[in-house]
């Protein structure tokens, strides 16, 4: 279904973002060494400016349609994809935020189902299909899963899985008012240990806003 094209996009975004950060970091260290001879006092001032981006400023983010809110490390980038399915064309909205110098990506995606399908389909079947497709397209092994509900009682599922490259994804999916939401954090084994509390707080901050 719609998740088929979503996950390869997320993987590409994560890899490219990490390589850009590594390249951007390298020119700064030689520059600071050159300045040490004429002005030794500049040296201690340069170090704090390099380490500042490690701690991102988390802010409440709400998409243009106002249907959910979540804490994000800065304003996320938005990507829109269209995919033809047996239900018709589906619009997939993707929001991705990557803190500088951290091997982690925070993603929220959603897609609306055609009205007739959304009314007839079993929410648990939709969640199970999304889980199975995520594991299949990323060639990942399931670590854990559990059924959950949103703060306003919509059905959901939390899954955690790891791919062959060692990337770990923790995802919470919800079905609400004909829409499938997916809230994810993708990181490495090393970063997962240090960011465990941050990732849990990020997932917990997600709120579905009901239509008026």
User: 192 — phi, psi (to 5°)?
Assistant: -60, -35
pTM to 2 decimal places: 0.73
Model pLDDT for residues 22-36, shown as the tens digit of each residue: 222 233 333 333 444
What is the rounded distance in angstroms from the CA atom of residue 179 to the CA atom of residue 183? 13
Residue 173 pLDDT > 80: yes
Model pLDDT for residues 117-172, shown as the tens digit of each residue: 656 678 999 999 999 999 998 999 999 999 999 999 999 999 999 999 999 999 99
Give percent of the chain above pLDDT 70. 69
Classify strands 68-73 and 88-97 as parallel, antiparallel or unpaired. Answer: unpaired
What is the pLDDT of the chain when averaged over all its residues?
78
Stated as kind and residue range, the H or E segment containing 203 is: helix 196-204
The 3-state DSSP class for residue 93 equals: strand
């Amino acid at each position: 279904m719609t998740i088929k094209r979503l996950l390869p996009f997320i993987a590409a975004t994560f890899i490219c973002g990490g390589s850009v950060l590594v390249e951007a970091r390298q020119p700064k260290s030689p520059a600071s060494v050159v300045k040490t001879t004429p002005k030794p006092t500049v040296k201690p001032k340069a170090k704090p400016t390099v380490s500042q981006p490690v701690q991102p400023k988390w802010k409440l983010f709400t998409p243009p349609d106002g249907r959910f809110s979540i804490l994000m490390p800065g304003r996320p980038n938005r990507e829109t994809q269209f995919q033809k399915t047996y239900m018709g064309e589906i619009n997939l909205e993707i929001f991705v935020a990557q803190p500088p110098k951290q091997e982690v990506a925070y993603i929220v995606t959603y897609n609306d189902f055609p009205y007739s399908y959304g009314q007839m389909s079993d929410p648990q079947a939709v969640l199970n299909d999304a889980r199975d497709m995520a594991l299949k397209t990323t060639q990942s092994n399931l670590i854990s899963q559990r059924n959950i509900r949103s703060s306003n009682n919509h059905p959901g599922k939390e899954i955690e899985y790891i791919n062959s490259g060692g990337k770990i994804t923790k995802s919470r999916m919800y079905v609400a008012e004909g829409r499938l939401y997916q809230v994810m954090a993708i990181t490495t084994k090393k970063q997962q240990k240090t960011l465990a509390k941050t990732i849990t707080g990020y997932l917990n901050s997600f709120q579905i806003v009901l239509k008026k």
